[in-house]
C-alpha cells in the first residue's frame, strides 16, 4: 500500500493524512464516529509552526476545536490533550501558565469527564536559575460517557516484585501481584524526543510513539478510528496504523505532512525507528564523564 497526502477526508480509506486546517477536516467527519482523539496542540509559545496570539484568542481557537472534537466522539470514546506550559517573560520575572488548567473548562463545557491527568516525566530540558527546571508535561484524558473503553490488560507493565507472596490470610504463600503485570499508573517516565532520540525527525516537537501507543491500546479496539487534529510528524497516525486502527490526521504544513506520510509508510513496511518503552538511559558509574572532575 502506498500512502499519500489527501486534500479532503475520504471515509473509505483506513489512513487519511490531510494537509489542511483541523477545523475544516473536523467538519467533514461524521458526528459520533471517532473512538479516540489524541493530540498535542500548538502551545501558543511562538514555535516555528504557530503565530503567538493574545491568550484569549488562543483559548477561543482551542474552544472551537475542542467543541467540534466532542461532537465527533463516539459515546464510548476518549479525548487525550497533551500539553505543557506557556512561560511569559524571562528570568526571575517569568510566570508559568499551565495549559491543562487553562483548557480544562473547555472540556467540561462539553460535559466530558476527566479520567486521568497523566504526568509525562522526562529527564532533559532547559535549566532554570529562577525556578525548578521543568521536567514534565501532562495529558488530560477525558471520556464522553461513563461507558468508555479501557483495556487495562493491554498496557500492563512489569511488576516491581513479581516474586512477592502473601504472607498471611487465605492466600498465604501465593504470589500477590497480577501475573499479567501492573497498572502503569498516571506518571509516565518516557524520554522526550530530543536530538539523539531514535524517533527524531525535522519536526521540532514530536511526542514519542510509546506515549501514543499506550493510549491507543488502552482506549480503542482494533478497527476503531483514531484522529489527531494537529498531526505534526505523524506519530499518532503511524502508531494507530501499526496497531490496526483506522486513522485520520490533519496538519497545516505540507513539509510535516510529507514526514507523516514517510513515517506511516515505514510503519507499514515494519522499518519505522521506534524507541519503545525501555527505561530511560542510566549512564555507567565511574567513567570520566560521570566522576566529578572537581573536589
Ligand atoms: C505540537 S505539534 C504536534 C506534534 C505531533 N504530536 C508529533 O508527534 O509530531 C502541533 C502541530 O499542529 C500543527 N497545526 C497548527 N495549527 C493547526 C491547524 N489549525 N490545523 C492543523 N494543524 C495545525 C502545527 O503545524 C504543528 O505541526
92 alpha carbon to ligand 1 midpoint, in Å?
30
pLDDT tens digits along 184-215:
999 999 999 998 899 999 999 999 999 999 99
Task: Give the C-alpha separation, 172 to 279, whole Å.
Answer: 32
Q: Is 264 helix (H, G, I), strand (E, B) or coil?
A: helix
What average pLDDT does range 73-80 have in this prediction? 98
**Ligand 1: does its nearest atom lie under 6 Å from the Cβ of 256?**
yes
Q: What would the grid cell of residue 89 be? A: 517573560
Domain ranges of the chain: 5-269
Cα separation, 79 vs 191, whole angstroms: 23
Per-residue model confidence (pLDDT) at position 241: 97
Query: What is the model's pLDDT at position 9?
Result: 96
The confidence score (pLDDT) of residue 89 equals 73
User: What is the percentage of the chain residues whose pLDDT exceeds 70?
Assistant: 100
Tell me how far CA of residue 10 lies from CA of 29, 228, 247, 260, in angstroms. Answer: 9, 15, 11, 17
Reply yes or no on whether the pLDDT at 152 is more than 90: yes
Q: Quick one: average pLDDT of 276-291?
A: 88
How confident is residue 261, by pLDDT bands cut at 50, 70 and 90?
Answer: very high
Pocket of ligand 1 contains residue 19 by CB under 6 Å: no
Residues with Cβ < 8 Å from 189, sequence gap 6 or more? Answer: 121, 122, 279, 280
Average pLDDT of the residues in 54-70 = 97
pTM over 0.75: yes
Which residue has the CA at smallest separation from atom 4 of ligand 1? Answer: 232
Q: Which atom of ligand 1 is nearest to the CA of 233?
A: 9
42 Cα–ligand 1 center, Å: 6
The alpha carbon of 261 and the centre of ligand 1 are apart by a number of angstroms equal to 15
In the chain, what percentage of residues exceed pLDDT 90?
Answer: 85
Cell 465527533 sits on residue? 72
Which cell goes with 135? 521536567
Average pLDDT for residues 141-162, to the nearest whole number?
96
Domain 5-269 has CATH 3.40.50.150: yes
Asked if pLDDT for residue 108 goes beyond 80, the answer is: yes
- For position 292, what pLDDT does the model report? 87
From 47-56, 134-143, 219-228, 242-251, the region with the lowest mean pLDDT:
47-56
Cα-to-centroid distance, 153 and ligand 1 (Å): 31
* C-beta 53 within 6 A of ligand 1: no
* CB crowding 31-49: b at 16 or more within 10 Å, else e: eebbbbbbbbbbbbeeeee
pLDDT, position 142? 98
Please choose, from the candidates 76, 149, 64, 148, the residue with its C-alpha nearest in 3D space to the C-alpha of residue 110: 64
What is the model's pLDDT at position 40? 98
Amino acid 93: pLDDT = 77
User: Helix count (H) and strand count (E) of the chain?
Assistant: 6, 11
Ligand 1, atom 19, lies closest to the CA of 21
Long-range contacts of 281-284 (CB under 8 A, 24+ apart): 281/191
Give the residue whose CA is nearest to atom 7 of ligand 1: 206
How far apart are the C-alpha atoms of 17 and 221, rounded to whole Å? 21
Instruction: Give pLDDT tens digits for 86-100.
Output: 988 777 778 999 999
Cell numbers at 62, concatenated: 482551542
Ligand 1 nearest atom to the CA of residue 234, by list position: 9
Q: What is the pLDDT of residue 295?
A: 76
pLDDT at 225: 98
Rg of the chain over Cα atoms, rounded to whole angstroms, equals 21
Amino acid at each position: 500500500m502506498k500512502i499519500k497526502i489527501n486534500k479532503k477526508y475520504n471515509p473509505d480509506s483506513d489512513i487519511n493524512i490531510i494537509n489542511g486546517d483541523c477545523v475544516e477536516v473536523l467538519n467533514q467527519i461524521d458526528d459520533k464516529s471517532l473512538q479516540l482523539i489524541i493530540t498535542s496542540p500548538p502551545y501558543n509559545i511562538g514555535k516555528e509552526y504557530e503565530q503567538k496570539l493574545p491568550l484569549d484568542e488562543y483559548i477561543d481557537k482551542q474552544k472551537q476545536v475542542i467543541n467540534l472534537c466532542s461532537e465527533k466522539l463516539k459515546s464510548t470514546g476518549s479525548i487525550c490533550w497533551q500539553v505543557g506550559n506557556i512561560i511569559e517573560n524571562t528570568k526571575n520575572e517569568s510566570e508559568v501558565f499551565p495549559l491543562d488548567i487553562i483548557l480544562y473548562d473547555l472540556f467540561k463545557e462539553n460535559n466530558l469527564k476527566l479520567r486521568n491527568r497523566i504526568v509525562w516525566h522526562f529527564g532533559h530540558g532547559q535549566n532554570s536559575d529562577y525556578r525548578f527546571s521543568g521536567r514534565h508535561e501532562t495529558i488530560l484524558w477525558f471520556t464522553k460517557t461513563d461507558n468508555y473503553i479501557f483495556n487495562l490488560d493491554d498496557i500492563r507493565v512489569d511488576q516491581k516484585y513479581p516474586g512477592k507472596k502473601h504472607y498471611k490470610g487465605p492466600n498465604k504463600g501465593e504470589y500477590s501481584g497480577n501475573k499479567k503485570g501492573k497498572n502503569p499508573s498516571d506518571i509516565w517516565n518516557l524520554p522526550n524526543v530530543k536530538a539523539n532520540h531514535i524517533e527524531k525527525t525535522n519536526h521540532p516537537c514530536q511526542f514519542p510513539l510509546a506515549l501514543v501507543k499506550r493510549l491507543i491500546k488502552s482506549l480503542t479496539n482494533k478497527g476503531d478510528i483514531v484522529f489527531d487534529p494537529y498531526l505534526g510528524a505523524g506519530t499518532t497516525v503511524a502508531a494507530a496504523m501499526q496497531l490496526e486502527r483506522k486513522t485520520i490526521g490533519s496538519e497545516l504544513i505540507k513539509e510535516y505532512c510529507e514526514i507523516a506520510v514517510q513515517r506511516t509508510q515505514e510503519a507499514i513496511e515494519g522499518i519505522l525507528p521506534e524507541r519503545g518503552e525501555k527505561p530511560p538511559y542510566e549512564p555507567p558509574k565511574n567513567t570520566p564523564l560521570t566522576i566529578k572532575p572537581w573536589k
